[in-house]
Amino acid sequence: MTGLTTHVLDTALGRPAERLRIDLFQLDGEIRRHVKTVETNADGRVDGGPILAGENFRAGTYELVFHAGDYLRASGTPLPHPAFLDLVPIRFGIADITAHYHVPLLISPYGYSTYRGS
């Protein structure tokens, strides 16, 4: 499979992060263009296949912005004001359009981790 996918896990609650909004941007120098907004399902994944695929899957610099604060509040997690984590941006590059780029996110109210998955 080629394209861009993600998976979000709530490490504080030990479950997938359901209904977490994610904005995808493509960057060209200082220009940041909104490409798409998606939301995670009950498994912490995005329905409908890859976030980017086919002719839209191009080499370049991208940013996924995870709306962690909104998700954590909606899940009943008490957060200070302002929250330590609110928006979690992950900027990454796509160099090989014949490959699969998987960008998972592990979140809690006070930390996050990501990596290039498979």
Residue 118 inside a domain? The answer is no
Residue 11 inside a domain? The answer is yes
Domain count within the chain: 1
Residue 18 inside a domain? The answer is yes
Task: Average the pLDDT over 58-69 and give the result.
Answer: 98
Residue 115 inside a domain? The answer is no
Residue 102 inside a domain? The answer is yes
Share of the chain above pLDDT 70, in %: 100
Look at residue 111 in the predicted model and tell me its pLDDT.
97
Residue 59 inside a domain? The answer is yes
Look at residue 118 in the predicted model and tell me its pLDDT.
87
Residue 91 inside a domain? The answer is yes
Burial of 14 (0-12, 13-18, 19+ CB in 10 A): exposed
CATH number of the domain that residue 15 is part of: 2.60.40.180
- pLDDT band per the 50, 70, 90 thresholds, residue 12: very high
Tokens encoding 45 = 């994944």
Does the annotation list 102 as a binding residue? no
Does the annotation list 115 as a binding residue? yes
Mean pLDDT over the full length of the chain: 96
Structural domain for 11, as ranges = 3-109
- pLDDT band per the 50, 70, 90 thresholds, residue 7: very high
Residue 116 inside a domain? The answer is no
CA 77, CA 13: separation in Å to the nearest integer? 9
Look at residue 1 in the predicted model and tell me its pLDDT.
82
Task: Average the pLDDT over 10-33 and give the result.
Answer: 96
Does the annotation list 7 as a binding residue? yes
Look at residue 18 in the predicted model and tell me its pLDDT.
98
Ramachandran category for residue 29: left, alpha or beta (phi over 0 → left; psi -120 to 50 → alpha): left
Residue 84 has pLDDT above 90, yes or no: yes
Task: Average the pLDDT over 98-116 and give the result.
Answer: 97
